[in-house]
Amino acid sequence: DDSLRAGWSGKFYAWINGVSGIFQFFIIPLLLKHCEAHRIWLFMPSLMMICTLYQFGTYKTSELFGASASFFCIKTMEYSLRGAANEMLYVSLDYESRYLGKKVITLIAGKFGKSVMAVALAVSVVYYGDNDNLMWYLLATATIFTCLWMFSSVRLHSLIDASSKR
């Protein structure tokens, strides 16, 4: 039923926006007082890996909770945590580096990264579309990109630690 689906989607996005607001105005400011921003970058791909692995365990049950929990985490992080962590990474840089860094990161990591992931998932759907294990291939693709995200975050973390020790 379309009206039930629309109602569920509306409530779901309301929860995402509400939780994102709580994170953005209350939890993240407290978190950033006690934790450096580059450490938060390690948390985000870790959380996504947990959600993806949970989906691997539940994808055959057609359970909506597994997919919606991952989507909830992604959107909550995108609306609140990622933005704050991005800004905190640039605070210590001079104006020109901050401007250029934001521009390059937004273009390459933000737009290009999302585009590559969307293309990879679309290619998976086209290539494995008639296969009964389509969801497994989509989850495997998401896991590969989450691992790349994790590797990049660990690398960023180690570079920031090394530069702060100089």
pLDDT in tens, 99-144: 777 777 777 777 887 788 788 878 878 887 777 788 888 888 888 9
- In this prediction, residues 7-27 reach a mean pLDDT of 91
pTM, whole model, 2 decimals? 0.70
Exposure string over 89-103, b if 16+ CB within 10 A, otherwise e: bbeeeeeeeeeeebe
Q: What is the mean pLDDT of the chain?
A: 82
What is the end-to-end Cα distance of the chain in Å, rounded? 61
How many domains does one find in the chain? Answer: 1
- Residue 70: what residue type? S
Helix (H) or strand (E) holding 50: helix 37-58
Nearest Cα residue to 105 out of 41, 24, 46: 41
Highest mean pLDDT among 66-70, 95-99, 115-119: 115-119
Instruction: State the residue for tokens 């379309």.
Output: 2
Instruction: Show the domain range for 154.
Output: 2-165
Nearest Cα residue to 84 out of 49, 38, 117: 38
